[in-house]
């Protein structure tokens, strides 16, 4: 699985002018399931995200997690994180998980974050979404379950 983590002061996702998820301080998580990904990988990645120390402590150092600061997560499906641009100007997405598996893993990732005590809001899988955010910092971090065992 891949996730693009953005530390935000606020974020919102809308589908057809209807807000499907909105948070204040926390993390906007753009999530992509890749072919061969499993629930176990979704759980490991969710746990890593929840513990990621990218919020400032009293000394202004990035030393606190979203859990530590009582922040929330806005989880948005983003199959385009699977883009392969190695063969020209038009990206290919064949390494993304098929939609039915992608949706299951996306839901599992979000459920695991909830199980870790986070407040979780979500986008709508497969929908044409508009995402608005105020990136705090800015802090943007790429994570991939393939990077760790």
Check residue 18 and give its pLDDT.
97
Check pLDDT > 90 for residue 38: yes
Instruction: Dump pLDDT digits (tens) for 86-102.
Output: 988 999 999 999 999 99
Confidence of residue 146 (pLDDT cuts 50, 70, 90): confident
**Averaged pLDDT score across all residues of the chain:** 96
> Which of 80, 125, 124, 122 lies closest to 102, judged by CA?
125
pLDDT tens sequence across 54-77: 999 999 999 999 999 999 999 999
**Banded pLDDT at 25 (limits 50, 70, 90):** very high
Rounded CA separation 140/4 (Å): 7
Q: How far apart are CA 40 and CA 125, in angstroms?
A: 20
Which band of pLDDT confidence, cut at 50, 70 and 90, is reported for residue 149?
Answer: very low
- Say how far apart CA 142 and CA 132 lie, in whole Å: 19
pLDDT at 4: 98
- Domains defined for the chain, CATH in brackets: 2-143 (3.50.80.10)
For the cut 90, the answer to whether the pLDDT of residue 147 exceeds it is no
Which pLDDT value is given to residue 60?
95
- Please provide the size of the chain in residues: 149
Alpha-carbon dihedral of residues 149, 46, 76, 73, nearest 10 degrees?
-150
**Catalytic choice (6, 55, 78, 109):** 78
Residue 119 CA to residue 69 CA, distance in Å, equals 12
Q: Does 140 qualify as catalytic in the annotation?
A: no
Catalytic residue, candidates 6, 35, 38, 79: 79
Q: Is 78 an annotated catalytic residue? A: yes
* CB contact at 8 A, 62 and 55: yes
Q: How many CB atoms are closer than 10 A to CB 16?
A: 10
The rounded distance, in Å, linking the Cα atoms of 102 and 12 is 22
Catalytic choice (10, 35, 67, 80): 80
């Amino acid at each position: 699985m891949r996730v693009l983590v953005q530390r935000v002061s606020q974020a919102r996702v809308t589908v057809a002018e209807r807000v499907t998820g909105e948070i204040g301080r926390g993390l906007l998580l753009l999530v992509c399931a890749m072919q061969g990904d499993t629930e176990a990988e979704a759980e490991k990645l969710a746990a890593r995200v929840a513990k990621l120390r990218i919020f400032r402590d009293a000394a202004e150092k990035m030393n606190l997690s979203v859990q530590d600061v009582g922040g929330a997560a806005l989880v948005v499906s983003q199959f385009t994180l699977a883009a392969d641009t190695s063969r020209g100007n038009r990206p290919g997405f064949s390494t993304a998980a098929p939609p039915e598996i992608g949706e299951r893993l996306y839901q599992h990732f979000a459920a695991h974050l909830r199980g870790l005590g986070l407040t979780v809001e979500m986008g709508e899988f497969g929908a044409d979404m508009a995402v608005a955010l105020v990136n705090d910092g800015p802090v943007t971090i790429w994570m991939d379950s393939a990077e760790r065992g």
